Amino acid sequence: MELALVIEKFILVAIIFGISLVTAMYSTYAERKVAAFLQDRVGPNRAGPFGIFQPMADGAKMFMKEEIIPTQSSGLLFIVGPSLAILTACIGSAVIPWGQTLTIGSRVIDLQVTDINVGILYIFGVVSLGVYGIMIGGWASNNKYSLLGAIRAASQNISYEIAMGLSIIALLMLTGTLSLKEIAQQQHGFWANGWFTWNFFRQPLGFLIFIICAFAETNRSPFDLPECETELVGGYHTEYSSMKLGFYLFAEYINMFISSAVMATLYFGGYNFPFMHHLGLSENLVTILGVVALFAKIIFFIFFFMWVRWTIPRFRYDQLMNLGWKVLIPLAIANIVLTGVFATIFK
Partner 1 sequence: MESLTNKKKVLESKPLNFWERAYLPAIAQGLSITIKHFFKKPATIRYPEEKREFSENYRGLHSLKRDEEGRERCTACGLCALSCPAEAITMIAGERQAGEEKLYREEKYAAVYEINMLRCIFCGLCEEACPKEAIYLDGDIVPSDFLRKDFIYGKDKLVEAPLNQ
Residues lying near partner 1 in the complex (CB under 8 A) are found at 34, 36-42, 45, 307-308, 310-312
Nearest to 244 by CA among 55, 63, 22: 63
Nearest to 254 by CA among 28, 34, 12: 28
How many CB atoms lie under 10 A from the CB of residue 283?
13
How far is CA 167 from each of CA 34, 193, 312, rounded to the nearest angstrom? 30, 25, 23
Rounded to a whole number of angstroms, the minimum distance from the CB of residue 41 to partner 1 is 5
Cα–Cα distance, 185 to 272 (Å, whole number): 8
Rounded to a whole number of angstroms, the minimum distance from the CB of residue 50 to partner 1 is 11
Rounded to a whole number of angstroms, the minimum distance from the CB of residue 323 to partner 1 is 9
Q: Which is nearer to partner 1, 38 or 69 (CB)?
A: 38
Q: Which is nearer to partner 1, 208 or 288 (CB)?
A: 208
Assess contact for 88 and 129: CB atoms under 8 A.
Answer: yes
Q: Which is nearer to partner 1, 36 or 87 (CB)?
A: 36
Residue type, 47: A
Rounded to a whole number of angstroms, the minimum distance from the CB of residue 37 to partner 1 is 5
Q: Which is nearer to partner 1, 205 or 281 (CB)?
A: 205
Cα–Cα distance, 306 to 336 (Å, whole number): 30
Q: Which is nearer to partner 1, 205 or 289 (CB)?
A: 205
Rounded to a whole number of angstroms, the minimum distance from the CB of residue 307 to partner 1 is 6
Q: Which is nearer to partner 1, 22 or 42 (CB)?
A: 42
Nearest to 308 by CA among 202, 194, 224: 224
Cα–Cα distance, 269 to 185 (Å, whole number): 8
Rounded to a whole number of angstroms, the minimum distance from the CB of residue 63 to partner 1 is 27
